[in-house]
Amino acid sequence: MAPKDVVDVYEGTDVPMSQQLSSPSTAPKSSTPTEVTSSSTAAPTSPERRRKRQRSPSVASDRDCEESPKKMKKRLRWSNITIHEFGVGLGGSSVPGKGGPSIGLSDKPEFTWTTKVGEMAECVEGVHRFTPEERVRLLQSAGVSEGMILRFSREANIINSSRRRTLVEDIAERKEAKKQ
């Protein structure tokens, strides 16, 4: 049920502006034309007395629901998938914990193809973990230079040693806090 102040159309009788009380502080701004009287600031006395705007068509009333035919349910169906295959690239968003360079995806896809959903269900390869030597071989076969591989390997080792140092310091601080 709609609140009392929400009305589709005012069904009462209109009161001429000359019969309404004037109150300049409560005069609402209206876009509908009104009668001009001798009083310069005439306004409706109460919200029930003035004509209400009709609801927008997007808001349905109880009458609209009864009259409208049943609409079809909206559905989303997946029929095709597009697969972009990327080659191996240097970098990525992770630092391997066992040393060696990090690997990620190359900048541009090597292959792009489309297939029906369900045909690829058996071809899921999953996530692989590579040893540092395997990562170096993958990067070499992708055409990454030895210098870049070495630079990224050193960078990963610096990050790992910093993490180990921080871990040792945290453990020492906890032991110190327990003693006190």
Segment (H or E) for 74: none
Domain extents for the chain?
A: 1-52, 83-179
How many Cα atoms sit within 13 Å of 100 on the Cβ side?
Answer: 17
E strands, 7-102, are: 80-90
Report residue 3 as tokens.
């609140």
Which stretch of DSSP H or E encloses residue 82?
Answer: strand 80-90
pLDDT given for residue 176 in this prediction:
92
Torsion from C-alpha of 121, 127, 133, 134, nearest 10 degrees: 10
- Whole-number mean pLDDT of the chain? 74
| Residue 120 contacts residue 81 (beta carbons within 8 Å) | yes
pLDDT surpassing 80 at residue 129 = yes
What pLDDT shows up at residue 124? 59
pLDDT tens per residue, range 36-56: 444 444 555 555 556 666 666
Residue 123 has pLDDT above 80, yes or no: no
Confidence of residue 59 (pLDDT cuts 50, 70, 90): low
Indicate the Cα dihedral angle 36, 38, 39, 42, nearest 10°.
-20
